[in-house]
Structure 1
Amino acid sequence: MSNTALLERPAAARHLRAVPTAPTAEALAPAPVDAAPSPRHLPPGTAPRGFALYVGIDEAKAAASGVSLGVLVDALRRTLAELAPDAETYATVALAPVGAGGRDVDVVRLALHEPSAIARTKQDEPEDEDRLHGGVVVDISRKRVLIDGESAAFTFKEFELLQYLVLREGRTIERTELVGSLWQGVTEDESPGERTIDVHVRRLRAKLGRYEDIVRTVRGVGYRFDRHADVSIRYGHGTPSPDRF
């Protein structure tokens, strides 16, 4: 699924609109201003902040309807801008293995690691399958690293760093890109310098032990992940993707 195809926009994009229906007495009644979901449906200490709409459709099915994925996203955003101008939106592409079976929307939910969808499938996954093998297993879906069958004690930031390099296998990543991507939302004072990145990489390599050279230094530029024959990557039900609309 290429970024170019997803970002194409036709001259006149369709705009989704609500289909008018005959109003009922309930619909005509004014809703209370402070209406909110019943507390019994919310975990304690939480409050609704938005929603996720999972859309199951591939490019071929969209084209058969005379649209594209990019056009659908644009139409939804236009409609939302009319209904709730202050709403912020974010859209990402769901990448799934070719030939993944099941309903389109279920494939999308798994690809985007929607918690309840993942929970329903975990019972079918062999927990100790990867422990039977040597080498390094980088398990993206479960956020863990196994080294010669044993779970490595990676910190959250160390795993994020390794994952960022793994998902961009073979490409040299500059230190400035690592800082900007892995420390988003922090203030300038909290943002680490390039020397801090070097410290994180040294600790990461130390925990990789004899497999430390899978994270290579490109002198004067940054770092690169090089996969060896004894390194396996587990993506789970979908491949995490940085692609955005």
Structure 2
Amino acid sequence: MSLAHATQNLATRPAVIAAPDITAPRTAARVAPAQAPTAPRLRAVPEGTEARGFVLYVGLDEAKALAEGSSLGAVVQALKDLAAQLAPSSETYAAVALAPEGAGGRDIDVVRLALQEPAALARHRDAEEVDEELDRAHAGVVIDLSRKRLALDNASVALTFKEFELLQYLVLREGRTIERTELISALWSADDEEAAPNERTIDVHIRRLRAKLNRYEDIVRTVRGVGYRFDRHADVTIRYATAPSPDLF
């Protein structure tokens, strides 16, 4: 979880030494103290544009913050307070980058990708191309949570949005039996265009998902009287999303 480095490089200007005060009496001639170094300023921006603010990415997850006696909330608030102190007219907005537990990767990279930083996106696209090459050579099941994609024996499978949501919810809770009521409350909201199903229609959604999984349908198991569970087989590969969209802090 996080935010991180500025999008413009900063350059410093040398300190300026004031000339002697020629208005003072000769007997009390004195030199004005050196002025404090001027604040760093942005390099020249391209012609026709103007700098309207900046982005600061900070790579730090909650566990690391707590281990250092702080929290993400405290760090965010301190940065907001500092901005208000240095420039009272400044406006601030902070977003948190979210990633599935255990997704791995450097915090700073997760943040840059979640907040759509161009260089990070370009590297991610390159990595995706490598993954696609690996997928084509991989027999079995590939569940790509990053690109919302399912492939069976090197062939893409067309899932509906809700079908993939169901599969992803089970995959991210691998080995745990999920009750039907939990699936309903987690995956259907009041704003959802599709009316929230009852427990029986969850079974219909799962049955359709299993049909598309074909001979691998048993990776989604039914636990009678309780719900459903994802069981990974040796021929199942999961590509975890590095960073979903950021959430408002």
Output the TM-score relative to the length of structure 2. 0.59
1:64-121 Cα offsets, whole Å, 9 max, x none, are 8652335335767999xxx9xxxx99856445755x45xx5333233x4747433442
Distance 1:235 1:216, change over 3 A: same
| Residue 148 (structure 1) aligns with | 153
Asked if the contact 1:56/1:108 (under 8 Å) is kept, the reply is yes
Distance 1:133 1:240, change over 3 A: same
CA distance in 1: counterparts of 2:244 and 2:238, whole angstroms: 12
The size of the alignment, in residue pairs, is 185
Distance 1:78 1:212, change over 3 A: farther
Q: Does 1:123 align with 2:126?
A: yes
Q: Does 1:68 align with 2:81?
A: no
Unaligned runs of 5+ in 1: 2-51
Q: How does 1:27-176 map to 2 (within 5 A)?
A: 55-58=58-61, 62=65, 66-72=69-75, 91=96, 93-94=98-99, 98=104, 100=105, 104-110=107-113, 112=114, 114=116, 116=118, 117-124=120-127, 125-126=129-130, 127-176=132-181
Q: How does 1:14-33 map to 2 (within 5 A)?
A: none
Q: CA RMSD, aligned part only?
A: 4.1
CA distance in 2: counterparts of 1:113 and 1:234, whole angstroms: 20
Q: Tell which structure's C-alpha radius of gyration is larger.
A: 2
- Amino acid paired to 2:121: I
| Residue 4 (structure 1) aligns with | none
Asked if the contact 1:96/1:107 (under 8 Å) is kept, the reply is no
Distance 1:195 1:77, change over 3 A: farther
- Amino acid paired to 1:229: A
- Amino acid paired to 2:172: L
1:192 to 188, 197, 203: 197
Distance 1:77 1:158, change over 3 A: farther
Output the TM-score relative to the length of structure 1. 0.60
- Report the identity percentage: 63
Determine helix, strand or coil for the equivalent of 1:118: helix
